[in-house]
Structure 1
Amino acid sequence: MDDARQQQAASAHRVLAALRASFDAAAAALAARCSEGGKLNARKLDAEQVPSFELAWAGAELLAAETGMAALQADAPAVAVDLALIFCVEAATAVVARLETLYLELGLSLAPLRELQSQPAWDGLRRDAGGARALEAAGRAVALSDGEVGPTELDEPHALAQEAFRRFSAEVVAPQAEAIHRDDLTIPESLLQPLREMGVFGLAIPEKFGGSSPDDREDTLLMVVVTEALSEGSLAAAGSLITRPEILSRALMAGGTDAQKAEWLPKLAAGNPLCAIAITEPDYGSDVAGLALKGVRVDGGWRLTGAKTWCTFAGKAGVLMVVTRTDPDRSLGHKGLSLLLVEKPSYEGHDFEYVQDGGGTLAGRAIPTIGYRGMHSFDLSFENFFVPDANVVGGEAGLGKGFYLTMAGMVGGRMQTAARACGVMRAALRAAIRYTGDRKVFGSALAEFPLTLAKLARMGARLAACRQLAYSVARLVDTGAGRMEASLVKLLACRSAELVTREALQLHGGMGYAEETAVSRYFVDARVLSIFEGAEETLALKVVARSLMERALGIAPSGA
């Protein structure tokens, strides 16, 4: 790192330190407003949703900037330093604006923020690291990078996995992605079978159960690396296949009986059957505690009646993890929920009806969507559908624990979604680099114009920051921590995917709006990322902001 970059990095660290102190003050003040007797109060939290949302986003942007700057080594490539500084400038500017809003709302003095903005380090950093000349230079470096920005140092096993799945994604997934999207096809066996053979469905399952995860620890980083690589080829046709076995296998490992683990984990690892997760209901969305699909105890098992929606891959799946209300007392909220494994035949089409020998029925219909085609999300209707006692996760001891077992899988699911966002961003950035290098306008390549280079620089900076944060949080999750951070990186990466794919499409001009151009698919696919695995509003309010306030109060974090 040369002297100029060292000075800019030093300024960035000073700015971030000042922002962290101001952020902590805002978190403490908001926590005081939302608490009663030293504990957060649900009614007060709901009344402060707007400032809580700002707090969560400020926390996400600030942590990403801090993580990116902290990762820089003295011998870091110039482009890595420049992109980290660019994101730092943009994130710090956004955080200042959010904190000003919070300080005004909370009645705090704006003096600390005004003091920061009056310091020479602030103006110098914005000029030297985030100004037009810096963006142009960084954009040229990004154009030469072919999208290889962000963390590139992996140990040998992870590097080999990344290389293998990137190759598979480019050579097998990407050539089929357009047809799957435009013709609204179900993911074909020509993709599923080789992925089974590569062990994709067992990434979260210990080796002793037929998976590829170590028996003595988790390897979230491997899941992130593989997911990112597959999502670059297609979010819907490959990158999202891991999420459902990830959630179900973690739920089984957290609360399944020994017999259930022995029966189901090897099957899930082999991708036979494929699985789906049925949580959301038409009237409740992300409000898991309000779920109403009813399970009534009968001789030998349970009869399910009710509806689920947005159940991805429900047609193709041979087993569904269904969050079911097994206690009729609705006042119990999430404590009355259990997990039931619903077995069914696999169907290729966009609708199905399965009638059991005893007359119970399960019907499904694929929901037409603007993107994320291939797996298809289904409306499901259960009518007196029988599930044996053996398929209650955890058996009798698992009744009432469905919410907690589901949450055991959601941390991994959110990390995987952040990785999906990074893969889509990388695909979009690479497409933009190629197109702007080839496209001639007004006698020059589009990539020669300063505004194009500034766009590429900002896209590269955002991708690099999200990748760095995702990889860092993956390692944190493997220590048993990182629940809030997993939600935070999902929050940031998914919104960033919308921004990056939007700019990539814009740089393609009219061709970006054509379905025959892959970047149009990246754009519509990216839009779903902020919605599933926890809508960004729910994550921001119920997990990130709440956890930040709990930390400010010095109390143990609640589950989410």
Structure 2
Amino acid sequence: MDLTLSDEQQAVRRMTAEFTDREILPHAAAWDRAEQVDLRIVKKLADLGLFGVTIPEEHGGSGGDHLTYCLVLEELGRGDSSVRGIVSVSLGLVAKTILRRGTASQRSHWLPRLCSGEDLACFALTEPDTGSDAGNLATRATRVDGGWRIDGAKMFITNGTWASVALVFARTGGPGPKGVSAFLVPMPSEGLEVTEIHGKLGLRGQATAMLSFDDVFVPAANLLGEEGEGFKIAMAALAKGRMSLAAGCVGIIQGCLDAATGYATQREQFGKKIASFQLVQQLLADIAVEADAARLLTWRVADLIDRGQPFATESSTAKLYASEAAVRAANAALQVFGGYGYIDEYPVGKYLRDARVTTVYEGTSQIQKLIIGRALTGVSAFA
């Protein structure tokens, strides 16, 4: 086992870290207050090739392996999870799925546009009445001459108001997972209404939307994969997506550690730096251990993917641990800051709010435990 990063991986990590320090961290609080990331960040991310990591150059990507991808998301997550989410959804959930399951025409049309940042994508699976129970989604696609017509609604869709294409999952057959298919739906489309969701606890700078489909026509060529494979496509995308989210959570933990350590070595109480207090050092040590553990679990998933090995259970493990650890780390960091941690002049309150939703989306912590439990016992608790 060799955990040494290659020269290329170290260079990408350093480049992304410098970009985060320069272009994201100074603006994160303002974007959070405004509930709007400055979309000029998209072109800047694209100019560095960050929307194309793991996508081959022949498709407009910048290449690289999945560990490099995790390093990128760690740094972006350290800066602002709202920015990290733009990349991990458009690239991680959608572009990678098009690469894996798309036709030659779909790949040639969408991948260069997504890798260049010219277009963004969203992943439309969750519905108002079906979150964890994605196999029973209600949005329906009906076959018509030349394609399909989609009716229904999707909820909590990241990049929903910014995207030029939505990867939409809709029922084309009978009940259950085998009746679901996947479609690439251009945005805007006639009959598709997009409503932005405001007032979120965290990820406030990120565009989160409800998508309403009213007889939206999709050409037959926009079916992704075979009819009836949509649920399988969605679950494969989420298995990798959980690694992405875990990497972003590692970034949150690292950000908490950097902020709390910096504050503790400057803040004085009782005539000395609070870093000299044993219980403050305990809080910092706990965050540091969480960072290492979450990072290594996440890197294991990347290694398995790059070696072509099964990784779904390990991805759930990393997502479960890293998301819960991010909440613990942010709580500990806020404790180090005391009352100052409770105002948004300092970053740890935002880290806590952003971390909290990571235990919910792309599969709740409880769902991850059921996935891990099924792998251990061979018995499904979903049935």
Bigger shift: residues 382-391 or 485-494:
382-391
2:373 alignment counterpart: 545
CA contact (8 A) 1:429 1:459 kept: yes
1:367 Cα offset (Å)? 4.1
Question: Unpaired runs of 5+ in structure 1?
Answer: 1-69, 72-150, 346-353
1:212 paired to 2:43: no
SS at match of 1:322: strand
Aligned-partner residue type, residue 439 of structure 1: R
* Equivalent of 2:143 in 278, 284, 297: 297
CA distance in 2, matches of 1:187, 1:276: 18
CA distance in 2, matches of 1:313, 1:177: 17
CA distance in 2, matches of 1:256, 1:429: 41
SS at match of 1:340: strand
Q: How does 1:128-147 map to 2 (within 5 A)?
A: none
Aligned-partner residue type, residue 53 of structure 2: L
CA contact (8 A) 1:227 1:240 kept: no
1:230 paired to 2:76: yes
CA contact (8 A) 1:361 1:382 kept: yes
1:338 alignment counterpart: 181
Q: How does 1:417-496 map to 2 (within 5 A)?
A: 417-480=245-308, 481-496=310-325
Q: Deviations over 1:251-304 (max 9, x none)?
A: 223322222122222222112210001100111111111001011112211111
CA contact (8 A) 2:51 2:116 kept: yes
Q: Which has the higher contact order (CA 8 A, sep 6+)?
A: 1
CA distance in 2, matches of 1:318, 1:238: 18
CA contact (8 A) 2:192 2:211 kept: no
CA distance in 2, matches of 1:388, 1:375: 30
TM-score, normalising length: structure 2: 0.95
Q: How does 1:243-254 map to 2 (within 5 A)?
A: 243-254=89-100
1:527 Cα offset (Å)? 0.5
* Count of matched residue pairs: 381
Task: Report the structure number with the largest CA radius of gyration.
Answer: 1
1:240 Cα offset (Å)? 4.6
Aligned-partner residue type, residue 126 of structure 2: T
Aligned-partner residue type, residue 60 of structure 2: G
What percent of counterpart residues are identical? Answer: 35
* Equivalent of 1:262 in 94, 104, 108: 108
Question: Unpaired runs of 5+ in structure 2?
Answer: none
CA distance in 2, matches of 1:377, 1:511: 29
1:201 alignment counterpart: 51
1:393 Cα offset (Å)? 0.9
Q: How does 1:504-519 map to 2 (within 5 A)?
A: 504-519=333-348
> Could you say what the CA RMSD is over the residues aligned between the two structures, in angstroms?
1.9
CA contact (8 A) 2:331 2:352 kept: yes
Aligned-partner residue type, residue 158 of structure 2: T
1:414 alignment counterpart: 242
In structure 2, the CA distance between the partners of 1:367 and 1:302, relative to structure 1 (3 Å rule), is farther
Q: Deviations over 1:358-394 (max 9, x none)?
A: xx24232324201112222212211111111121113
1:528 paired to 2:379: no
Q: Which has the higher helix share?
A: 1
1:47 alignment counterpart: none
Q: Deviations over 1:336-361 (max 9, x none)?
A: 1111111114xxxxxxxx6x2xxx24
* Equivalent of 2:208 in 360, 363, 377: 377
Aligned-partner residue type, residue 391 of structure 1: N
1:166 paired to 2:17: yes
CA distance in 1, matches of 2:302, 2:58: 22
Aligned-partner residue type, residue 156 of structure 2: W
1:175 alignment counterpart: 26
TM-score, normalising length: structure 1: 0.66
1:213 Cα offset (Å)? 2.4
1:426 Cα offset (Å)? 0.4
